[in-house]
Structure 1
Amino acid sequence: MDQPSNQDNQRLFSLLKSLQKASKDLQKIPFFSTHEPQSTVEHFLDLEKDESPVFNDDPNLFKLSQLLCDLKTKLEKLQKYQGYSLPCILRRQIINYKIYQVACAIETEIRVYFDRESVQNLVGTLEGSADEDEKVKVLDDFEKRLSQGFDIHFQDLILKAKIFSILEHVLCDPSCSIRIRDQVALVIASLVRFNKDVFVGLVLMGPTVRALISMSSCCSIRVLSLLINFIRIPLVDELEAHKEIPRIISILSSENVEIQAGAIDCILGIAYYGRREAIEAMLEAGLVEKLVKLQRLEKQSSVGENGTTNEDGSKSDPETDSNEVWSAGNCPFEGCVARFAVQLEAGEMLSKKEKIEFKLEILRRVRETSVSEAEIASIVAEVLWGSSP
């Protein structure tokens, strides 16, 4: 059988969209009414006349074609009962209810058809297309569909097509561009949000998290932060078990402020959901020392932005200062040591004794790392006043 042309596909898509809208309008016909909205009925009947030649070539539309024939019969029957006698009114209400049921079924069937096409298009494009823009577009469209909420039929299509495995393969493929892999990462996060019960296990068992850390792009680190907040304790346990926490801490050394900010969000999530071993791994990786340095650089850049003098007496120039990347408004590191301490103290997995021990350890490291008594006093005060007693 010849493949349908792009023009035929566009016509079919347009017709299905129109039928979907018409079916929604038909669902709005009140059951207890003395007459039906004539324009809605006529519009549907006009669309129904156009469907037969288009639907005959696609077996996936057979059920939809049957539903449309059934609905057409009911609409024609409805037009026969236009009187205001009690029997006519009652018959109209019964028929209206049946029309509502069939219209709902039609809308569902069209959505299933679009979902099937979406899944097939995603698989075909990721596996067979070399066009980067096309891949990004189908991934973005797929993410938007996931954002509409859980749908058991759509999930079945995703699982049968092994979408997660395909996405995971692309995410871990260094030959793919960061742009595509970033978009894949967003889709994986949307899948977890779509149904945690199914897709969390796939994330934990596979290389997804390690791939996100290895990419260390703005988007991948943001997605990692999202996954920590979605999956919580099980993901933090996996990060600690696979020694991934020091790698996350090392991202704080990135020259990209947005990546550093994403790493901070990951760290705060780990602090809240982490067990003792995870917190120890962060401290041993030099987290407090890095946070103190980031906080110091932000304060210095803020001072420089105001045009005050440096320690050597020279005037700071925000246009030429070597810390330009840390300019005010771009560095979300103010009070980051205290924010880390607060997350630890509010966390779910530490005992009261452990929280006290870790706070003392944080304060010790702050004193060792700070370059002046003023800096020590400032950060210690933030930690003590920012945390719960």
Structure 2
Amino acid sequence: MEEKQENKVLMALEALKKASKDIENNPNSGADDSGGDSPSMKALLELETGSEDLFSGDPNLSTLSHLLSHLKALASSLRSQSPSHGSGTGGGLLRRLLRRRFTGHGEISRVAGSIGSEIQSWIDREYADNLIAALRSQSDDEKIDLLSAMETRVSRGFDQGLQDVLLKSDVYVAVEAVLTDKAAAKPVQERAAALVLALVRFNKAVFVGPVLMGVAVGCIVSIASGSATTLRALCGLITHIKSPLIDVLHSDGKIPKLISLLTSSDPEMRAAAFECCLDIGYFGRKEAIEAMMGDGLVKILMELQRSGEIASSVARFAIQMEVGEGLRQREKRALKLEVVRRVKEDAMSDAEAATVLTEVLWGSTP
């Protein structure tokens, strides 16, 4: 019953946001042809009528209350200049001409836009509160739905109001708690990992710090060992955070775990692990890449290449190092020579070594 009530509230708020958008885009739509209020305007004015009781005690809604009062005054001005308020044909024509020139339309559009933003913030707070509550007690399906909904919302791009909601609600802390919960269902943790990536994309300046300083990275690596979906989220985090995240993976001893996933029995997992290795090759510093070499990366890539599963895998990794951002020029040369040495060492024949080295030295399609 409580969940249904929450859904009704969100549906009502979405409808009000749509009404404000309609008026913002076409302020003339605030009144109908007879001079009365349009359905969109009526919806917002009905909200204003009950705003004193509805908004009392909630400081987050005070701005919305003021905006609705302002809209009510503008709507009254709009009605007073409608044709129905004129007398006679001449008067009606004059009213219509004046209405077209009514400078209040621009103000109505502006206020409606501001109302829409405030309602969106209200929706965001509802979703954040529902998410926090769900992660503490609700069913797995409810958790997955709300995590996915929040991921979709933050993926729309940066929004200051939404960021305020996320920080005040401690959404990241709650999501990290899911990742550390060994009793949490795998699909729930997968969606939590995806939301961590979405938050980093939303605002790196705010959310990269908690990711690097907290336990999320280690948890995501552990979850990724049995989830290609989470492994792809980790790849996304590497792409966005770059060397600092790879440094954490290296210092925490997580790189061998990623290398081992290249030998997974799941081809989807192997493909996702290879993408992570390419990203580390591109963004990683010398110490991290040396660690990958030491963990047998070249040998494993040669085995994958030999099986025909991942074409030119050794050369693709070498190219990532060569064109990447993490290494100095002299380090690139030294590590490329190390790849050459290991290819010669791990090749099953001179012919195989020659084929792979030709791709490494002269390049292949990344």
Name the TM-score class by shorter chain.
Answer: 0.7 to 0.9
Task: Kindly state the Cα deviation for residue 115 of structure 1 after the two structures are TM-superposed.
Answer: 0.5
Q: Is residue 197 of structure 1 aligned with residue 205 of structure 2?
A: yes
Aligned partners of 1:67 and 1:105 also within 8 Å: yes
Give the letter for the 1:98 counterpart.
Answer: E
Aligned partners of 1:12 and 1:54 also within 8 Å: no
Task: Kindly state the Cα deviation for residue 158 of structure 1 after the two structures are TM-superposed.
Answer: 1.1
Higher helix share: 2
Cα gap change, 1:80 to 1:148, in 2 (>3 Å) = same
Q: Identify which of 174, 177, 183 aligns with 1:169.
A: 177
Task: Kindly state the Cα deviation for residue 170 of structure 1 after the two structures are TM-superposed.
Answer: 0.7
Task: Kindly state the Cα deviation for residue 86 of structure 1 after the two structures are TM-superposed.
Answer: 10
Q: Specify every segment of 5 or more residues in structure 1 that has no aligned partner in the other structure, as ranges.
A: 299-330
Counterpart for residue 324 of structure 1: none
Give the superposed CA RMSD.
Answer: 2.7
Cα gap change, 1:86 to 1:53, in 2 (>3 Å) = closer
* Length, aligned pairs only: 348
Give the letter for the 2:107 counterpart.
Answer: K
Cα gap change, 1:57 to 1:6, in 2 (>3 Å) = farther
Task: Kindly state the Cα deviation for residue 45 of structure 1 after the two structures are TM-superposed.
Answer: 4.0
Q: Identify which of 166, 174, 198 aligns with 1:158.
A: 166
SS in 2 for 1:349: coil
Task: Kindly state the Cα deviation for residue 88 of structure 1 after the two structures are TM-superposed.
Answer: 6.9
Cα gap change, 1:187 to 1:23, in 2 (>3 Å) = same
Counterpart for residue 238 of structure 2: 228
TM-score by length of 2: 0.86
> Counterparts of 1:346 and 1:356 in 2: how far apart (Å)?
11
> Counterparts of 1:12 and 1:344 in 2: how far apart (Å)?
52
Q: Larger deviation: 355-364 or 220-229?
A: 355-364
Counterpart for residue 148 of structure 1: 156
Give the letter for the 2:198 counterpart.
Answer: S
Counterpart for residue 89 of structure 2: none
> Counterparts of 2:2 and 2:342 in 1: how far apart (Å)?
68
Counterpart for residue 101 of structure 1: 110
Counterpart for residue 284 of structure 2: 274
TM-score by length of 1: 0.81
> Counterparts of 1:176 and 1:27 in 2: how far apart (Å)?
44
Identity %: 39
Cα gap change, 1:87 to 1:295, in 2 (>3 Å) = closer
Task: Kindly state the Cα deviation for residue 239 of structure 1 after the two structures are TM-superposed.
Answer: 1.9
Aligned partners of 1:147 and 1:194 also within 8 Å: yes
Q: Is residue 335 of structure 1 aligned with residue 312 of structure 2?
A: yes
Aligned partners of 1:272 and 1:344 also within 8 Å: yes
Aligned partners of 2:19 and 2:44 also within 8 Å: no
> Counterparts of 2:295 and 2:262 in 1: how far apart (Å)?
11
Q: Specify every segment of 5 or more residues in structure 2 that has no aligned partner in the other structure, as ranges.
A: 83-91
> Counterparts of 2:9 and 2:335 in 1: how far apart (Å)?
63
Cα gap change, 1:381 to 1:94, in 2 (>3 Å) = same
Task: Kindly state the Cα deviation for residue 157 of structure 1 after the two structures are TM-superposed.
Answer: 1.4
Q: Larger deviation: 71-80 or 163-172?
A: 71-80
Deviations 1:255-274 (Å, cap 9, x if unpaired)?
11111111111111111112
